[in-house]
Structure 1
């Protein structure tokens, strides 16, 4: 186990020469590096598994704090706004992590081959932690090794990815993963509501319309949406709006007033209040701070 962990860290270290998130030649696989603890970062996490080789991180969803390191992996089941922060990292021992986006089609075919398994009766929070096993680490190492033999990726990477998902389906997050792949579960209904909000976040909507989109009652939508995301649909929309406005300003595409209008706000003062409540500073000061430390933010 220790040898595999060391090799996993070494492979990620060779792939990620600078701080930040780095895509790889393997579909859906990214690696992350940070040489110092980071500021809290608001970001939308997408369905994925994150396996840390070195260092540690915390993710906050609502009131729940998820701390993970090389002994625990993180599973994300739906797109959800999270506050993430690297809490253990240094120049000598940087934070090193791999992120594999979850492919619904691969999960579905794997479930058919693996046979029946546990299923949740009610939706669970979008984030979940489980213990890293030697078998999971070994599969992750073999997947990363393929980056050093690019000619093998097209044939062998899908096999390694499939094995990683199989190992996850044997762990504590099996029910969550099965809900991602199954077509008619509460989690998939919540996911449909999330997709609708993300597509239409600039526009006002009625909860009844959102419930129809999710194919569930308004009361059930509110209950299950909050169980998964730790927020109401309107709170979710607000976070998506504010994060998009922040992104636009950080890229220098517009000022605060234009950004607020472009994401659906009609009142600049309301935008400023809600922005400060979420990010801790008014828009202009927050963007100045982000630009001062551009490499201090690692998203997953």
Structure 2
């Protein structure tokens, strides 16, 4: 059960900071407060390794054929960088969507895993985007982190301790299996993360699956199987998602033509680019409107 005073405090903080449309940071690096008073359309976004605790309302995220919904008291753990479509589905002005999101510190998690990993066993890995009900201890720890984030002295003295506790609890959570697997040296999850890093670094280039498999230290068939299991998509589709999302950023930033955006992200055919862009975003790239200068 999420304490009502925590819901109220987070919502009030976001409103005071003017973050109803975008969410806002806090005094703790990597901790974000979110409050939305209405449902939102699904937007393409890259989920970095992160956890999100929903305090009120609900949100959904979709990656290819996998769709997850997380509501009040539930937490999302994302262990690998994933291009998803996500939107708030349950929110009203009286009962807004309220959440706290924390960027995961894999170095902190790894240091903890070295201490507790063996005791947790080597269960079968889950998906890299997993949702489950949060226990009272995790909700309490994240709530304490938010509250101390308002006090610079407490941030300096106490935030590292609470952050370590939160990562500890995530590693032990029922949906922390993929996070545990990621931290296990030479596990499939760890090897796939190397290939993902390669795709993100070189998303504009032609990347043969053989090269990605070699980077992961796997055969092509094994690599493809594990990549699909962990991310619900294929390596080439993952690269395409990155290209389209970067192209959209260029277009809404203004000053870039459709053809220029297509070539800039690695497409050889603006026609193919336009077709795939419209399929993903529901609007042809020529119809994208640049953001106003003050918002871009």
TM-score > 0.5 by shorter chain:
yes
3-state DSSP of counterpart to 2:148: helix
Deviation at 1:114, TM superposition (A): 2.9
2:45–2:84 contact (8 Å) kept in structure 1: yes
Q: Which runs of 5+ in 1 are unaligned?
A: 296-300
For residues 164 and 8 of structure 1, what CA distance do their matches in structure 2 show?
A: 17
Give matches, 1:162-201, under 5 Å: 162-201=164-203
* Counterpart position of 1:68: 70
Deviation at 1:86, TM superposition (A): 0.3
Deviation at 1:33, TM superposition (A): 2.0
After superposition, the C-alpha distances for 1:193-222 in whole angstroms (9 at most, x for unaligned) are 111011001010211111111111111111
3-state DSSP of counterpart to 2:149: helix
For residues 222 and 123 of structure 2, what CA distance do their matches in structure 1 show?
A: 16
For residues 207 and 259 of structure 1, what CA distance do their matches in structure 2 show?
A: 25
For residues 74 and 203 of structure 1, what CA distance do their matches in structure 2 show?
A: 32
* Counterpart position of 1:236: 238
Moved more, 142-151 or 267-276: 142-151
For residues 162 and 271 of structure 2, what CA distance do their matches in structure 1 show?
A: 51
2:26–2:150 contact (8 Å) kept in structure 1: no
Give matches, 1:119-134, under 5 Å: 119-121=122-124, 123-134=125-136
Decide whether aligned partners of structure 1 residues 253 and 185 sit closer, same or farther in structure 2, where only a CA change above 3 A counts.
Answer: farther
After superposition, the CA RMSD in angstroms is 1.9
How many residues are treated as equivalent by the alignment? 289
For residues 201 and 148 of structure 1, what CA distance do their matches in structure 2 show?
A: 39
After superposition, the C-alpha distances for 1:39-67 in whole angstroms (9 at most, x for unaligned) are 01111111111001111101112222211
Calculate the TM-score normalised by the size of structure 2: 0.92
1:104–1:180 contact (8 Å) kept in structure 2: no
For residues 6 and 81 of structure 2, what CA distance do their matches in structure 1 show?
A: 27
1:72–1:131 contact (8 Å) kept in structure 2: yes
Residue of structure 1 aligned with 2:121, choices 110, 118, 121: 118
Deviation at 1:270, TM superposition (A): 0.4
For residues 121 and 4 of structure 2, what CA distance do their matches in structure 1 show?
A: 33
